[in-house]
Amino acid sequence: MKSLDLNFSPYASRVRIVVRLKHLPVTFEYPQLGLKTPEFKAAFPLGKIPILELDDGTYIPESWAIMEYLEEMFPEVPLSPTDPLARAQMRVLGRCADLHLGPALFPLFVQLKRPQRDDAAIALQIDATRNELAKLGRLLEEYGLPDSRSLHLGDIALVPTIYYVTAVLPLFGVEDPLATAPLVARWWSLVCDVAVIAQTLKEIDDGFRGFLKQG
Ligand SMILES: N[C@@H](CCC(=O)N[C@@H](CS)C(=O)NCC(=O)O)C(=O)O
């Protein structure tokens, strides 16, 4: 199997974490057709990475769909609880990353490369991100941290997004972005202690620092 990947993509990085935790024979490569090209969009209707290519040429887009596929195909290292309520909570954390935190945080990327930053837009997104972090803290209070339950796909989906909270907000003057969400900070220190996550975070960080240096 092959995962079409970019080292600092928050979505591709989730797949990398799952593959490594499960010790799966998946290689990671930047798409040969390039990203955003008409050829790439013609080959893959959603036009985004990650894409998991199976050995028979079938492909799966969307990081959460890929993570669940790998989980169902290779359950030997389980990354989902069995209890239906705990499974629902796992999915809520995944959706929290994709539908709440991500949309609050990622518009700040546009500001990073603008010759003149839009301070009002920046303040709005910083507030929105803090708001979402507070909500996530409340969810974690209810669902528990991965020291009282097993690490699952919901945690893994959140990891790269929280990395970007810690990496991007300081570039806009917020020194300790998790200070206002202590339970998220505690969750973050727990997940960063997982060796595969630390390895993947280093790759995201290297890729993101490289991206910042590009003109
Ligand atoms: N919902 C998708 C989001 C994937 C996504 O946005 N990937 C970005 C890279 S981080 C991408 O491929 N962007 C290329 C483009 O938008 O043309 C997922 O979870 O896989």
Whether residue 89 is found in the same domain as residue 68 = no
Complete DSSP assignment for 36-52: S-HHHHHHSTT--S-EE
pLDDT band at 182; cut points 50, 70, 90:
very high
Residue 56 domain-assigned (yes or no):
yes
Q: Answer whether residue 192 is part of any domain.
A: yes
The closest residue, in CA terms, to atom 17 on ligand 1 is 36
Please give the C-alpha separations between residue 126 and each of 41, 108, 133, 153, in angstroms, as whole numbers.
Answer: 32, 8, 10, 26
Structurally, the chain folds into a number of domains equal to: 2
| CATH number of domain containing 17 | 3.40.30.10
Take atom 12 of ligand 1 and give the residue whose Cα is closest.
Answer: 48
91 and 49 share a domain? no
Q: What is the pLDDT of residues 95-140, one digit of tens each?
A: 999 999 999 999 999 999 888 989 999 999 999 999 999 999 999 9
Residue numbers of the domain that contains 45: 2-73
Average of per-residue pLDDT across 74-82: 98
Give residue 115's pLDDT: 87
Q: Give domain status of residue 78, yes or no.
A: no
Q: Name the closest-CA residue to atom 16, ligand 1.
A: 48
Is the domain of 112 the same as that of 196? yes
- What digits encode the pLDDT tens for the residues 36-50? 999 999 999 999 999
9 lines ligand 1 (CB under 6 A): yes
Tell me, yes or no, if the pTM score tops 0.95. Answer: yes
Residue 35 near ligand 1, beta carbon < 6 Å:
yes
* Averaged pLDDT score across all residues of the chain: 97
- Residues 208, 135, single domain; the answer is yes
One domain, residues 26 and 94:
no
Residues 154 and 64 in one domain: no
CA distance 6 to 136: 27
Is any ligand 1 atom within 6 A of the Cβ of residue 62? yes
pLDDT at 155 over 80: yes
Q: Say if residues 12 and 64 touch (Cβ distance below 8 Å).
A: no
Instruction: Give the CATH number of the domain where residue 208 resides.
Output: 1.20.1050.10
Percent of the chain with pLDDT over 90: 97
For ligand 1, say whether the CB of 94 is within 6 Å of any of its atoms.
Answer: no
Answer whether residue 215 shows pLDDT above 90. no
Residue 13 in this model has a pLDDT that exceeds 90: yes
